[in-house]
């Protein structure tokens, strides 16, 4: 066997089979095809040795116990592979079932993480012993990858925790550590060191010669009852509707998991396993699963591993960072830094404004203390790391200074010249601009090679993505140090090259302006907003424009016109931009902060669409379909992403996909803006884009250069 080591240990009462998972040339154990074949061989050997065995111990030679399924194999599957997938799943389950019904105790020694299929391997055991380390994680996060736990996970967790108790772990992918697992009854004992695992397992084997799974006891009942129980039945009546509200019908995995839980609870154990296998085979061969695995496993790991980090600069951490501007963005950056142990100097034009910026962090800390998510001492230490000031001299010694002032080129130049001399030797300077080209802003710097864009998203305490923008003179070392800084904050860095709007703002702009353009064409505002959300966008385009301020969009438009005019070129505004300009300049509707935009915001009441939109823009005879509205919103962003890749603004598909999902809310079921193209099928996508271009203009045109880059970056698994 190439992935499993098998040995017999002398123990009280007979031999104990020690089964050690040890996949060759891999840092982790996975359910690869070789492991599945080895599992069959293992079971045959155990059956041969059964007369002399008093128990079985499952262990790992890796730092983790077991990592789960072979996701590359899943990525290669198609809808035609569902039947074969069902057979593979059933074959594996047959081995699991044989091991747990031999009439001898089986113990799992959990020395590290057991996630997904790894936790299902742990569930083979009648008794689970874990290393008492709060950083170790157990659980079934398959739904976050578009899959379901189909190797006994749904059936067993439902029978162990009950229909209601198991839902967070099966429908949401909630994870738990060893102590949580003990409280749930999923882990039966913990030990302090890895060396104690095997002796504890052997002792339990000796003390429990007749062990069996709980559901194999004829008197066993599911905790809380089956769906026939009136209380459970009443809860299950609303469960599908609540789930649909969350998934919007775009994520088949949670809905399939719920169905397996309910149906499986109504039948015997072995039938429940087959129900689960059928559901997994169908889900696994579907496009949504492949999209989500592509994004949330392969692309996310590429970002986290630093594939976009240039050069060979040694990794490092910053200890003191300055932030210019104590408004919402600057205050949020200060919080992000202080919460990770970085001493922060928060500067504004007055001490009062700087103090107000610090109070933002104090308020966030107080809320966490009140909810038990932070202790008072840590909150106090966090506040102490932020030094509010109006004096640029207090920035002395900062390894990085980030300006987060208003989107005005002259203002940014002024604060850059004032603060940059305070940098520590070898320090670097960053702008948090969301739209202004970094190369232009770097002209105010005395060291443009050490000037970079670090674009945070609001609210900083919640948004994981940070866009790092390389100016034309920015050197590799500065990009690498910015990358390390973002990871030090626990956030996700993507690296892009300089251009107007960079990647995220530029692409997100196409989303909101396409929504505005549709309103200008006469489509109902409610249709646009609801279709967007049903497609999987977190917020409708008109609502987003209100939140970010229509006046800001007009300011950016004015700046763009001025920049083009300075180069002797006219700028042709899009229909969406012109409509937003009318809203601000003619109708005096600047957005939420200014009292109202596309929406009204009555005090103490829920916001609602501005009634005048119907009179001003909507046309009763305008032709539309929900599918076409959704296509326009998603295709427009995907095409702009491909253009960014063709122009060199983006340099990788993984940055494109992760940037689109975590930065602009592109629907997770698509796997990101580029994966949306590949998941749709390149030919089918291009054909639909041509149809949209004929009807709705140049925004949907995919020129030969963009077509070539789509083909060149097509992923191979």
Give the residue from 195, 178, 196 showing the smallest Cα distance to 187: 178
Structure confidence by residue, pLDDT tens digits, 43-91: 999 999 999 999 999 999 999 999 988 888 888 877 888 899 999 999 9
pLDDT at 483: 98
Domain 505-648+652-712 in CATH 1.10.540.10: no
In order of 65, 112, 484, 640, the CA distances from 5 in angstroms are: 14, 18, 39, 51
Please, which contacts does 218-225 make with residues 24 or more away whose CB atoms are closer than 8 Å?
220/159, 222/158, 222/159, 222/162, 222/163, 222/265, 223/160, 223/161, 223/162, 223/165, 224/162, 224/163, 224/164, 224/165, 225/162, 225/163
Where do the CATH 3.90.226.10 domains begin and end in the chain? 4-289
Residues 6+ apart with CB under 8 A from 588: none
Residue 717 has pLDDT above 80, yes or no: no
CB count, 10 Å around CB of 116?
26
Structure confidence by residue, pLDDT tens digits, 169-225: 999 999 999 999 999 999 999 999 999 999 999 999 999 999 999 999 999 999 999
Q: What angle do CA 385, 390, 392 make, to 5 degrees?
A: 85
- Mean pLDDT, the chain, whole residue set: 95
Residues 6+ apart with CB under 8 A from 421: none
In order of 2, 600, 601, 608, the CA distances from 605 in angstroms are: 64, 10, 7, 9
Q: Are 59 and 18 in contact (CB under 8 A)?
A: yes
Confidence grade of residue 231 (pLDDT, cut at 50, 70, 90): confident
Q: Are 690 and 314 in contact (CB under 8 A)?
A: no
Give the residue from 147, 153, 57, 169 showing the smallest Cα distance to 105: 57
- The bridge status of strand 465-470 relative to strand 451-456 is antiparallel
pTM to 2 decimal places = 0.92
Chain-centre distance for alpha carbon 318: 25
Residue 631 has pLDDT above 80, yes or no: yes
Third-level CATH fold of 320-499? Rossmann fold (3.40.50)
Residues 6+ apart with CB under 8 A from 665: 537, 538, 539
Where do the CATH 1.10.1040.50 domains begin and end in the chain? 505-648+652-712
Helix, strand, coil percentages, rounded to 5, for the chain: 55, 15, 30
Give the residue from 596, 587, 591 showing the smallest Cα distance to 615: 587
Third-level CATH fold of 4-289? 2-enoyl-CoA Hydratase; Chain A, domain 1 (3.90.226)
The H or E element containing residue 93 is: helix 82-100
Choice among 41, 90, 100, 120 that is catalytic: 120
Q: Establish whether 711 is a catalytic residue.
A: no
Where do the CATH 3.40.50.720 domains begin and end in the chain? 320-499
pLDDT at 555: 87
Choice among 100, 142, 529, 640 that is catalytic: 142
DSSP string, 147-204: ---TTTHHHHHHHHHHHHHTHHHHHS--EE-HHHHHHHTSS-EEESSGGGHHHHHHHH
CB count, 10 Å around CB of 242?
12
Structure confidence by residue, pLDDT tens digits, 570-596: 899 999 999 999 999 999 999 999 999
Region 147-168 average pLDDT: 97
Q: Establish whether 120 is a catalytic residue.
A: yes
């Amino acid at each position: 066997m190439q992935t499993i080591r098998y040995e017999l240990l002398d123990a009280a009462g007979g031999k104990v089979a020690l089964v050690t998972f040890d996949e060759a040339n891999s840092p982790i154990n996975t359910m690869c095809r070789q492991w599945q074949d080895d599992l069959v061989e293992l079971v045959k050997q155990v059956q041969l040795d059964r007369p002399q065995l008093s128990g079985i111990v499952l262990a790992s030679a890796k730092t983790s116990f077991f990592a789960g399924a072979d996701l590359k194999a899943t990525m290669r599957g198609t809808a035609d592979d569902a039947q074969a997938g069902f057979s593979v799943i059933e074959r594996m389950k047959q081995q699991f079932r044989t091991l747990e019904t031999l009439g001898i105790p089986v113990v799992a020694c959990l020395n590290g993480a057991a996630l997904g299929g790894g936790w299902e391997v742990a569930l083979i055991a009648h008794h689970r012993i874990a290393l008492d380390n709060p950083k170790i994680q157990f659980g079934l996060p398959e739904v976050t990858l578009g899959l379901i736990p189909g190797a006994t996970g749904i059936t067993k967790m439902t029978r162990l925790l009950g229909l209601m108790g198991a839902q967070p772990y099966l429908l949401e992918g909630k994870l738990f550590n060893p102590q949580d697992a003990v409280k749930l009854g999923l882990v039966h004992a913990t030990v302090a060191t890895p060396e104690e695992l095997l002796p504890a397992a052997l002792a339990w084997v000796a003390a429990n010669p007749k062990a069996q799974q709980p559901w194999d006891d004829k008197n066993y009942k599911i905790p809380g009852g089956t769906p026939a129980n009136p209380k459970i039945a009443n809860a299950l009546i609303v469960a599908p509707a609540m789930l649909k509200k969350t998934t919007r019908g775009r994520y088949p995995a949670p809905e399939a998991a719920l169905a397996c839980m309910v149906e499986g609870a109504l039948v015997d154990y072995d039938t429940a396993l087959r129900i689960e296998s059928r559901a997994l085979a169908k889900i696994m061969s579907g496009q949504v699963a492949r999209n989500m695995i592509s994004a949330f496993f392969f692309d996310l790991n590429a970002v986290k591993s630093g594939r976009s980090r240039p050069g060979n600069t040694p990794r490092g951490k910053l200890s003191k960072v300055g932030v210019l501007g104590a408004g919402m963005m600057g205050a949020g950056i200060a919080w992000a830094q202080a919460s990770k142990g970085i001493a922060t100097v928060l500067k504004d034009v007055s001490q009062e404004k700087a103090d107000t910026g610090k109070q933002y962090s104090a308020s966030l800390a107080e809320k966490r203390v009140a909810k038990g998510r932070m202790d008072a001492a840590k909150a106090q230490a966090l506040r102490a790391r932020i030094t509010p000031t109006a004096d640029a001299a207090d920035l002395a010694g900062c390894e990085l200074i980030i300006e987060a002032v208003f989107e005005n080129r002259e203002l940014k130049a002024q604060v850059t010249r004032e603060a940059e001399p305070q940098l520590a030797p070898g320090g670097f300077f960053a702008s948090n601009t969301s739209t202004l080209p970094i190369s232009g802003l770097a002209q105010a710097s005395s060291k443009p090679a050490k000037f970079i864009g670090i674009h945070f998203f609001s609210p900083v305490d919640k948004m994981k993505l940070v866009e790092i923008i390389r100016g034309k003179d920015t050197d590799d070392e500065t990009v690498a140090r910015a990358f390390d800084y973002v990871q030090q904050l626990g956030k996700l860095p993507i690296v892009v090259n300089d251009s107007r709007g960079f990647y995220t703002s530029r692409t997100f702009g196409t989303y909101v302006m396409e929504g505005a353009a549709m309103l200008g064409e006469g489509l109902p505002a409610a249709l646009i907003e609801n279709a967007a959300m049903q497609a999987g966008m977190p917020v409708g385009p008109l609502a987003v424009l209100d939140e970010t301020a229509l006046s800001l969009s007009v300011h950016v438009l004015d700046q763009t016109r001025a920049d083009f005019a300075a180069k002797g070129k006219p700028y042709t505004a899009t229909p969406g931009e012109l409509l937003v300009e009318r809203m601000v300049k003619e109708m005096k509707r600047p957005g939420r902060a200014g009292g109202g935009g596309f929406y009204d915001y009555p005090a103490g009441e829920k916001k609602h669409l501005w009634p005048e939109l119907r009179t001003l823009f909507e046309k009763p005879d305008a032709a539309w379909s929900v599918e076409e509205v959704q296509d326009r919103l998603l295709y427009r962003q995907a095409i702009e992403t491909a253009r960014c890749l063709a122009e060199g603004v983006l340099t990788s598909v993984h940055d494109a996909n992760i940037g689109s999902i975590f930065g602009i809310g592109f629907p997770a079921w698509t796997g990101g803006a580029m994966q949306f193209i590949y998941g749709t099928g390149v030919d089918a996508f291009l054909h639909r884009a041509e149809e949209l271009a004929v009807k709705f203009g140049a925004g949907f045109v995919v020129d030969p250069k963009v077509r070539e880059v789509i083909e060149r970056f097509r992923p191979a698994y």
